[in-house]
């Protein structure tokens, strides 16, 4: 058996979280400029995703824009569930928390006749 070490770059976790979030029904897009709240305590946001790693546990903040006429609570729970599961299965790291921040809702523009 060959011994060695595997390291996972935070950008890998960011990509997993982002792609998983975008695949969930009801998510329109990521909010690319996360609000500047508690920026001192968080890594720089990348495409609406902030990832922190503490004691090999992943913590994520996701900033999303949802589609119109969706159940916000249900979509948020789906994001939390699937992002947590994807990170745990793909990387093998435990997930401590997935915070979902709804930044806006996409409404279709109605053209005036």
User: Residues 25, 34: contact at Cβ < 8 Å?
Assistant: no
The contacts of residue 45 (CB under 8 Å, 6+ apart) are 33, 34, 61, 63
Q: Is the pLDDT of residue 35 over 70?
A: no
Reported as a single tens digit per residue, the pLDDT across 87-101 is: 999 999 999 999 999
Name all domains of the chain by residue range, CATH numbers in brackets.
10-106 (3.30.70.1350)
Residue 33 is predicted with a pLDDT of 62
User: Residues 53, 59: contact at Cβ < 8 Å?
Assistant: yes
d(CA 15, CA 12): 5
User: Residues 45, 63: contact at Cβ < 8 Å?
Assistant: yes
Q: Is the pLDDT of residue 34 over 80?
A: no
Which whole number is the average pLDDT over 102-107?
A: 93
Residue 42 is predicted with a pLDDT of 47
């Amino acid at each position: 058996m060959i011994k060695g070490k595997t390291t996972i770059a935070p950008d890998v976790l960011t990509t997993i979280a982002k792609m998983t979030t975008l695949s969930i029904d009801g998510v329109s897009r990521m909010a690319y400029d996360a609000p500047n709240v508690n920026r001192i305590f968080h890594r720089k946001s990348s495409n609406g995703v902030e990832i922190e790693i503490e004691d090999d546990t992943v913590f994520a903040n996701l900033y999303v824009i949802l589609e119109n006429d969706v159940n916000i609570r249900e979509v948020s729970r789906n994001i939390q569930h699937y992002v947590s599961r994807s990170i745990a299965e793909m990387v093998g790291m435990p997930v401590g928390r997935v915070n979902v921040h709804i930044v806006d809702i996409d409404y279709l523009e109605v053209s005036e006749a």
